[in-house]
Amino acid sequence: MKIHDNILGTIGNTPIVKINRLAPAHVNLFVKIESFNPMSSVKDRLALGIIEDAEKSGALKPGQTVIEATSGNTGIGLAMVCAQKGYPLVVTMAESFSIERRKLMRFLGASVVLTPAPLKGSGMVQKAKELAAEHGWFLTRQFENESNADMHSRTTAPEILEAFADTQLDYWVTGYGTGGTLKGVSRVFREKSPTTRVIVSEPELAGLLTGGIEQKRHEDGSPAESHPSFNPHPVQGWTPDFIPKLTGDAIDSGGADQVLTVAAPRAMECSRNLAQQEGIFVGISAGATLATGLEIAETADEGSNILCMLPDTGERYLSTPLFENIEAEMSAEEQAFSASTPACQFE
């Protein structure tokens, strides 16, 4: 057992697990469970990569405040990294995202500035830029920062290739939030595993890529206005109301073979199925990725190997529709169980 110098050494090397009860018999379906990162999401990777690259370049000065716009997981990852390294952190987040995420970031010492829900992801990004400019804070720019994608090229992609070194990975399925995972992994696959088909999944209500990638961008490549194909959706962490630069780069360079949409109810169904039939506890976006993997499996050749990315833990969604039918009190059936035997007697 390795002893780590600090918590940051535990980021990455997340497990790949075979799906047994939910997978069709004619394929091999696997998942990469990113909730095994220390703050329980894939965004721990980008948080460490961006901060350490900024330290090396001198863009981030000792004691300087860090700021980022986030739906939650990036902010939580950054809060962990900044706490360990001693940087104050401010995050901006649309008020529509789950309360659990706000509390986790504040518990880790970050300040959370909420932006109006109607302004969507663009609103929280703009607020972060304004605060960074006003106070001289370091803006991590997760949606366009190449260090985000580079971290996945250095860690996530090699982990996958090593796991499938003795066999062929036929399909790799991922969603996108910033596009860092998509860009960073797909470019490595194009070089070292060119027969692997990259499948991108996005919410049915926010088909930004299936609705057309053409969109105005600022001169620096950062996203401009809200994309016309966007509608609010419950797959938190996936698909903001603009096409992030990293996502656009991946699509423009041929980094995706196919883009599929998934309905939110199906995503939540798959998340619950993972918990109740495979014992894998993950969030809505993970359910959406699995749903897409199952769709691919329907027409995949016999013996195909399919790997789905599962971005985070189900604990981020306790106040969301994912848990709407999960009660804290005993059900009638549970009360019947309780009443069927005498209460324990203690001497």
CATH number at residue 53: 3.40.50.1100
User: Same structural domain for residues 314 and 168?
Assistant: yes
pLDDT tens digit sequence for 131-162: 999 999 999 999 899 999 999 999 999 999 99
Examine residue 343 and state whether it is found in any structural domain, yes or no: no
Q: Are strands 138-139 and 66-69 parallel, antiparallel or unpaired?
A: parallel
Confidence at residue 321, expressed as pLDDT on a 0 to 100 scale: 80
217: pLDDT strictly greater than 80: no
- From the list 183, 181, 238, the residue with the least C-alpha distance to 206 is 238
Q: Which residue, 111, 139, 167, sits at the end of a domain?
A: 139
Please pick, among 32, 35, 41, 43, the residue that the annotation labels catalytic. 43
* One domain for residues 107 and 162: no
Provide φ and ψ at 242, rounded to 5°. -145, 160
Q: What is the pLDDT of residues 246-288, one digit of tens each?
A: 999 999 999 999 999 999 899 999 999 999 999 999 999 999 9
217 and 286 belong to one structural domain? yes
Active site residue 43: yes
Describe the strand order of the beta sheet including 28-33 as a list of residue ranges.
16-19, 28-33, 305-310, 171-174, 197-203, 258-262
The one catalytic residue in 186, 201, 229, 285 is 285
Kindly tell me if the per-residue pLDDT of 98 is higher than 80: no
**Of 99, 117, 139, which closes a domain?**
139
Question: What is the Cα–Cα distance from 301 to 50, expressed in whole angstroms?
Answer: 39
Question: Are 79 and 159 part of one and the same domain?
Answer: no
Average pLDDT value for residue range 278-301: 96
User: In whole angstroms, what is the distance from residue 140 CA to residue 48 CA?
Assistant: 11
Residues 170 and 302 reside in one and the same domain: yes
- Asked if the model's pLDDT at residue 344 lies above 70, the reply is no
Q: How does pLDDT run across 175-196, given as a tens digit for each residue?
A: 998 999 999 999 999 999 999 9
pLDDT surpasses 60 at 164: yes
Q: Which residues contact 222 (CB under 8 A, 6 or more apart)?
A: 141, 143, 144, 245
Of 80, 115, 139, the residue at which a domain comes to its end is 139
Closest CA to 207 of 179, 243, 251, 252: 243
Is 214 in the same domain as 281?
A: yes
Global pTM exceeds 0.85 = yes
The reply to whether 118 falls in a domain is yes
The answer as to whether 335 is a domain residue is no
Has residue 334 been placed in a domain?
no
332 within domain boundaries: no
Would 169 be classed as within a structural domain? yes
Same domain, 170 and 290: yes
- Residue 109 counted as domain residue: yes
Has residue 275 been placed in a domain? yes
Tokens 């995420």 sit on residue: 101
Residues 17 and 69 in one domain: no
CA triplet 155, 283, 288: central angle to 5 degrees?
Answer: 85
Q: Rg of the Cα trace of the chain?
A: 21
Query: Does 170 share its domain with 131?
Result: no
Active site residue 57: no
Say whether both 177 and 299 belong to one domain.
Answer: yes
Query: Which domain, by its residues, includes 296?
Result: 7-38+153-323
Counting the structural domains of the chain, the total is 2
